[in-house]
Amino acid sequence: MFSQSFFSSFAFFALLFPLQGVAQDAIPRDATLPAKHAEIIEEYCLDCHDAFTEEAEVNLEDLNYNLAHDIQTAELWQKVLNVLNSGEMPPEKEKQIPDSAKASLLDDLSSNIVIARSILGDSGGVIPLRRLNRREYQNTLQDLIGVIPDVSNLPDDQAATEFDTMGGSLYFSSDQLESYLSTAKRALNLATKRNPSRPSRIIRLEPEDEWNKTYTQYHQEQLDVRAQAQQWMDNGKTEQAAIKAGFLDSYQARKLLRQYNEYAPQLAHYLKDPVHKTGVSLILANKKGYTRVRTPGIPFHEPGRYIIRVKAAHYPETPSRFHYIEYIHTNGSNTNRLGWKKVKGTFQDPEIVEFTTDYQPGGRRNFVLHQRSHQDRADKNIWVHDQRKNNIGTLPGVWIDWVELEGPLPETSTSFLIQLLKEYKRTPNKKQVEEILKAFAKRAFRGQEAQQPYINKLLARYETYRTQKQKHEIALNNTLAIILTSPKFLYLVEESSDHTGDKELLSDYELATRLSYFLTSSPPDDLLLAAAENGQLSEPKYLREHTERLLSSEKNQRFVESFSHQWLEMHRLDMFQFNGVHYPEFDNAIRENARKEIYAMMNHQLKEQRPLKELLKADYVIINDILADYYGIEGVKGSHFRKVSLPENSPRGGILGTAAFHVMGSDGDRSSPVERGVWVLRHLLNTPPPPAPPNVPQLSRLEGQRLTPQQLQQAHQEEPQCAQCHRKIDPIGYGLENFDATGTWRVQDAFYKRSKRGYGARDVAEHFPVKAQGELLDGTHFSSFFELRDIVASHSDAFAHKLVEGLVSYGLGRPYGFTDHDLAQEILTKARPHGYTVSECIHALVASEAFQSR
């Protein structure tokens, strides 16, 4: 993937780069290599690579020390960097550059190459024409026609750049054009085909009807096998006896008997428990998987709000992790985990747990409830380990009496299309169809009128469909789908009066569109369009009002989630599978809620207008019951996220205390101090290290050795090629070693040896204490995680700069560039008195000339 430091590495030299000064606003404007390196080049390179000898056609004598002079200059310096990194130059037999001078040259060269690339790649503030990305497309259709389209066959647009809003990287391929058309047709047909609204009703299911039958049958099969096996054993366990008893051979007999011994006790135990006469317990039965309690399905064409109710009780003797119901939706092999609810009710006094869902046609209709799950085979592996201890496997945590579905409750909102169609009779005449097409196109084009020749062609399409005997609804949908495949819909059009692309103020409609997609990832709503219509939107007072309105709207969550996810590179959260036997506490619920915690923190920042530095360190967390259990914080009830005060000396509070951060900084097994260090440098301190250089030799000498983090750190410092970056990265990472791969606090770490016990088990070979202490490159010492956190938190200016870079890139739809220096300063200056609240940064960006012009 593209290292995002290519795109956002301007405020490069803030903190830990002593050579470059310290102020966070010292964005380098040129990429000139310090003159001191000229001596090294002269002494170690020019013998062969001067203008006269030009070995390998490389002449370094007249090389410009401004790396951004032109592309050729940058290319040549890149070559110099590459051969130094790979150890290719100077040649072995020649005089070698002393380590410290080499590290310093590599450091300056690699960072200046990044700056040079940015300068040379800078688009001069031009915002390229932007296609709706996949999220925006989906939201836009939902707002327009009231159906969430299935967009799985469109590219997700997140692969190429830091943000999926960057027009330059939003490509278009012919497959996509066809996908847009078919997606729109399908969504429109779902939107317009709905049953007349029926009164709300309640359907109740008793899950034991299904599961007792299943389990009884399964258990009977096991008993049959047991009887068969008895026959085999009575006849001397021979091959012949096996065949006579109905097995293929004695191998099969032994295998099935072993399975009986493993699985049957669980079901026997389950079936004789009287509580299963009237309900089910959520267990994992080997071969049958989870007890999947199905809810009644939502009728296909009856959109509206539905309530799912479950009457349940919990088993107090099992760990609280199992007292949750996980509710999911499955579609083929895709599983969407929708949430978790804790059951507090007891068998004496069961509780009614409620889930609410807004059903739109094309949405999810079937829900399944089961116990908390891990990825992959982990639950089964855990079950086996439990079975070996207690003979019946993992014990249930929740019992369910019944499940019911109530709905549809009346819809809360109607889409633009449905409202529009309501104004016409069932089969409108040609003139009315034209009106519908015009009105729909205008809304789809976000306020811009469609041209008459285009409308005429649409109308011709409609009439052709009608002559092909298509019903009016189908013909109209097929025509509307063309509008939703047209470039004025798929691209956010910003007109240029003279085609030159010179800076020009946006029209009010264009401004409404940019603002709306920025803060809600959705098209402008009625109020925004009205403000654009009467020319008010560009007035600062109204613009601020609308910005505030959007920031407090429900749809702002779309911004919070997509911005945070991309800005903080949270895709890493899903990159690794954790071994459930090593980390039984870290299951799907923790992973999902760890992600939501970050969103909830950002949301809290925005809505409560908290100073940005609280994201670096705070005396509170924003969590729910699941995370409270995970973090060991008491007294938090309910699955919603809320502010919870922390005791003094808690390692939680701020990003560095979140499970999400630490999981992202692991490889699914061990914590990764390098990943964590890089992440902190890049995302919090805004001093991203250069991208991992190609062709650096590995530290092969260390292969197979058992090294503590500190020993590894020393090894990283041996070669100047490694030291140039790792001396900045590693100390931070090791300062975070008190958190294991899943973000759990620890005071000791261990080496493991592979276990022979199977099913994912491992044995400790050796424990060693965590030493979260070190020295940053600028000489600052820290002796604990807490001190490191304080150091990071003291750099909130740098963090604010990083935020602004992200907002500029995301909001303007192009990489934060060299030319944005002044813009960033303008925003930071305005936001500083407010403690750099996210909302003030957004207001300042929206108020800027850059945001209001193209």
Per CB under 8 A, contacts with other proteins among 179-198 are 181
Per CB under 8 A, contacts with other proteins among 201-240 are none
How far, in Å, CA of 814 to CA of 167, rounded?
6
Binding of other proteins by 75 (CB under 8 A): yes
Binding of other proteins by 125 (CB under 8 A): no
Binding mask 54-73 for other proteins (x = CB under 8 A): -----------------x--
Per CB under 8 A, contacts with other proteins among 612-651 are none
Total residues belonging to the chain: 854
Interface residue with other proteins among 5, 7, 9, 843 (CB under 8 A) is: 7
Torsion of CA 482, 483, 484, 488, to 10 degrees: 130
592: Cβ–Cβ under 8 A, 6 or more apart, which residues? Answer: 337
State in angstroms the smallest separation of the CB of 704 from other proteins: 4
Interface residue with other proteins among 205, 530, 646, 696 (CB under 8 A) is: 696
When the beta carbons of 685 and 712 are compared against other proteins, the nearer one is 712
Binding of other proteins by 178 (CB under 8 A): yes
Per CB under 8 A, contacts with other proteins among 493-512 are 493-496, 499-501
Interface residue with other proteins among 58, 150, 168, 386 (CB under 8 A) is: 168
563: Cβ–Cβ under 8 A, 6 or more apart, which residues? Answer: 163, 602, 806, 807, 810
Binding of other proteins by 763 (CB under 8 A): no
633-643: b or e for each residue (b if 16 or more CB lie within 10 Å)? beebeebebee
Binding of other proteins by 758 (CB under 8 A): no
Contact 330, 297 (CB under 8 A): no
Joined together, the tokens standing for residue 239 give 């091959």
How far, in Å, CA of 451 to CA of 362, rounded?
32
When the beta carbons of 396 and 673 are compared against other proteins, the nearer one is 673
Per CB under 8 A, contacts with other proteins among 791-820 are 815
When the beta carbons of 445 and 641 are compared against other proteins, the nearer one is 445
Amino acid at 368: V
Per CB under 8 A, contacts with other proteins among 470-489 are 482, 485-488
825: Cβ–Cβ under 8 A, 6 or more apart, which residues? Answer: 25
When the beta carbons of 342 and 582 are compared against other proteins, the nearer one is 582
Interface residue with other proteins among 35, 57, 174, 541 (CB under 8 A) is: 174
State in angstroms the smallest separation of the CB of 854 from other proteins: 8
How far, in Å, CA of 289 to CA of 282, rounded?
10
Q: Which of 657, 552, 565 is nearest to 615 (CA)?
A: 657
Contact 606, 561 (CB under 8 A): no
Per CB under 8 A, contacts with other proteins among 307-366 are 332-333
Binding of other proteins by 761 (CB under 8 A): no
Interface residue with other proteins among 156, 273, 354, 790 (CB under 8 A) is: 156
When the beta carbons of 746 and 753 are compared against other proteins, the nearer one is 753
Helix, strand, or coil (residue 334) = strand
Binding of other proteins by 167 (CB under 8 A): yes
State in angstroms the smallest separation of the CB of 572 from other proteins: 10
State in angstroms the smallest separation of the CB of 88 from other proteins: 9
Q: Which stretch binds other proteins (CB under 8 A): 28-36, 353-361, 537-545, 692-700?
A: 692-700
Contact 417, 436 (CB under 8 A): no
Q: Which stretch binds other proteins (CB under 8 A): 397-405, 412-420, 573-581, 606-614?
A: 573-581
When the beta carbons of 134 and 643 are compared against other proteins, the nearer one is 134
Q: How many residues bind other proteins (CB under 8 A)?
A: 83
Interface residue with other proteins among 40, 50, 66, 121 (CB under 8 A) is: 121
In eight-state DSSP terms, residue 612 is G
Interface residue with other proteins among 196, 199, 274, 704 (CB under 8 A) is: 704
359: which strand partners? 304
Binding mask 435-474 for other proteins (x = CB under 8 A): ---------------xx-xx--xx-xx--x---x------
Binding of other proteins by 123 (CB under 8 A): yes
Amino acid at 340: W
Contact 206, 402 (CB under 8 A): yes
Sheet containing strand 324-331, edge to edge, reads 293-294, 368-370, 324-331, 334-342
Angle at alpha carbon of residue 495, lines to 490 and 496, rounded to 5°: 140
Interface residue with other proteins among 5, 24, 111, 169 (CB under 8 A) is: 169
Per CB under 8 A, contacts with other proteins among 366-395 are 376
Binding of other proteins by 165 (CB under 8 A): no
Tokens 């390196």, residue located: 37
Q: What phi and psi, each to the nearest 5 degrees, are found at residue 123?
A: -90, 5
State in angstroms the smallest separation of the CB of 573 from other proteins: 12
How far, in Å, CA of 79 to CA of 492, rounded?
40
Q: Which stretch binds other proteins (CB under 8 A): 13-21, 157-165, 268-276, 279-287?
A: 157-165
When the beta carbons of 187 and 245 are compared against other proteins, the nearer one is 187
When the beta carbons of 75 and 249 are compared against other proteins, the nearer one is 75
Interface residue with other proteins among 65, 300, 576, 745 (CB under 8 A) is: 576
Interface residue with other proteins among 38, 87, 128, 784 (CB under 8 A) is: 128
Binding of other proteins by 755 (CB under 8 A): no
When the beta carbons of 675 and 787 are compared against other proteins, the nearer one is 675
State in angstroms the smallest separation of the CB of 220 from other proteins: 29
Q: How many CA atoms lie within 13 A of 389 on its CB side?
A: 8
**Angle formed by the axes of helices 452-467 and 430-444, to 10°?**
130
How far, in Å, CA of 197 to CA of 194, rounded?
8
How far, in Å, CA of 16 to CA of 21, rounded?
9
Q: What phi and psi, each to the nearest 5 degrees, are found at residue 739?
A: -110, 130
How far, in Å, CA of 804 to CA of 490, rounded?
27
State in angstroms the smallest separation of the CB of 488 from other proteins: 5
466: Cβ–Cβ under 8 A, 6 or more apart, which residues? Answer: 472, 475
Interface residue with other proteins among 49, 69, 117, 727 (CB under 8 A) is: 117
State in angstroms the smallest separation of the CB of 824 from other proteins: 18
Q: Reduced to 3 DSSP states, what percent helix, strand and coil does the chain have, rounded to the nearest 5? A: 50, 10, 40
Q: Which of 213, 218, 209 is nearest to 401 (CA)?
A: 209
Joined together, the tokens standing for residue 361 give 């046609």
429: Cα separation from own chain's centroid: 48
Instruction: Give me the helices (H) in 22-172, please.
Output: 36-44, 46-49, 71-86, 99-121, 134-145
State in angstroms the smallest separation of the CB of 178 from other proteins: 7
Binding of other proteins by 246 (CB under 8 A): no
Q: What phi and psi, each to the nearest 5 degrees, are found at residue 359?
A: -95, 125
Interface residue with other proteins among 160, 268, 418, 439 (CB under 8 A) is: 160
341: which strand partners? 325
Binding mask 705-734 for other proteins (x = CB under 8 A): ------------------------------
Per CB under 8 A, contacts with other proteins among 646-685 are 667-669
Contact 834, 613 (CB under 8 A): no
Binding of other proteins by 172 (CB under 8 A): yes
Helix, strand, or coil (residue 634) = coil
State in angstroms the smallest separation of the CB of 586 from other proteins: 13
Binding of other proteins by 3 (CB under 8 A): yes
Per CB under 8 A, contacts with other proteins among 81-110 are 82, 86
Interface residue with other proteins among 124, 199, 410, 635 (CB under 8 A) is: 124
452: Cα separation from own chain's centroid: 43
